[in-house]
A and B are shown apart, each in its own frame.
Chain A
Amino acid sequence: MSSVTMPESRPDRGAAAAAEPIARPKVPWWLVGLAFGTLVSGQVVGFLTSEPDRDMGHLQKIMYVHVPAAWASFIAFFIVFWASVTVLWKRNERADLLNAAAAEAGAVLTGLTLVLGSIWGRPTWGVWWTWDARLTSTAVLFLVFVGFLALRALTDDPERRARWSAAVGILGALNVPIVYMSVKWWRTLHQLQSSPSTVDADYVLGLRWNAFAFAFALAAFVTIRYRTALFALAADRRAEARALAGGSTDAR
């Protein structure tokens, strides 16, 4: 497009907003450090405290990353549900940014859970995949997160995107327990083997430590993604204000 010169006499509405400086998004370094520290130390503790399991041998050590990843993805999923309800109820712009940040982290964590479950399943059951209720509902949860992110990527209007992803978040959240129940009944009906689920007391410390580590990592990722999005929004607003005030358009 050819450049448009604005007449000098144009009333500069929004000039104040245009000139207003925006603070850079702050990185919560203490949280990043905490997450990294607990992750590394948690894995060391896990390896030191766990004797080889009677049935699973050293394979049990996968538990320290697989189970915390699943738990953390559930936290992400509850944030999505809560943020979605807030968006629809209060029409809160910030809740939408939190929604997006949590869904993205949730997609990463459910994806990781699935891959780790698969790596665990191969030597344990001899197959890369079993139609276990937890594994299958995690896969469905992953697909819900992916659909959520795809919808966001393919919708341009931010206000509409907020409402739509909130609707997808709420309906997806309601579905997860139903998926879990239905897969569980379906499996009982077809009499397949059950997965080992009891946790020996020796492994509890390592498991808890790693669960906190993953929760901190989730918090760090979500916080940084949220602040970045908040900042990008402010930068867009400023670009808009500058354009209105008569400066050149500064898109992003």
Chain B
Amino acid sequence: MYIDFHKPQPIYLQMIDEIKRSLARGELQPGEKIPSQRERAQVSRINPNTVQRAYREMEAIGLTVTVRGQGTFITTDMSVLNKVRDEMTNQAIHTFIEEMSALGYCSEEIQAAVQDYMTNVGTKED
């Protein structure tokens, strides 16, 4: 998993965000096993204390479940997963609206611009 760590946010939060994005994109499935902390530190060459912090935080918010002797798994609790998806969606919209506002667009103009874009360009980029 490649992460561009140039943002000023703490690295452990960026690691969690990347897991959330992978979930939203469907690259990670509910109940899927994720690498152990040691593997993650080794493969991504990230400080093991940082990895530990990210894993603890994911466990605390219920995103992952650790089974002793078996490893760490993405939760199968759909309410948590839906919440993560909503959160990611809101975040993306928030960023978009902020940038449009900075360009001087008002609410109606933004809606019109999105409508326009969807009609002309569609979603074929997917």
Answer whether A and B are interacting partners: no
Chain B interface residues toward A at CB < 8 A: none
